[in-house]
Structure 1
Amino acid sequence: MDDLYGAALLNTLQRELPCYHTDSAVIYRSLQELEEDGSVSSYWETDIPGPAKKWYKITDKGLKKLVEFKDDIEMRMKNLEFFLDSYKKLSK
């Protein structure tokens, strides 16, 4: 995964995810919590023109959390598929 700064992360989420409706404050609070938790690390880029940017990089702990999220999402998808299949049977 590439390192990203907060605004770039927000732009990527808005561009790539359907129905994504959050603002930058949520992104920055989440990044701060993830950094405090040790799931991301950060560094400042100050050697370019313009305002300094704080870049974020996922850590090994963050990668492990992603596996847990993936497993949870897969379980939820199975539950949703069961619901949709059951609904189809009822609507026939």
Structure 2
Amino acid sequence: MASLSDIQAMFSAALAQHEEKLEAKLVARDDVIEKLMEWVNLQDASLKTGKKKADGQKVQPGSSQLNRTPIDKGKALELRNHQHPPSPIAPPL
């Protein structure tokens, strides 16, 4: 039977490997998002300069309150509760 220290070492190695895989996925996702934003001309200055927060995390585009548009909750509720009449065209058989 494996000792407690062996089991702990296996878990540590597995977690480190999983962490590396997740980091690689995040980097790939960030690259795709950056390319898509450039494609639609929405490139954020923080992504170009690679700005980071004090704790080392990258600044997310659109994270400031100034970039958000207010939501008209009354209109959203009205649209959600709106019932559409049935379509006059029957589905094909």
With normalisation by structure 2, the TM-score equals: 0.35
Answer 1 or 2: higher relative contact order, Cα 8 Å, separation at least 6.
1
| Higher strand proportion (structure 1 or 2) | 1
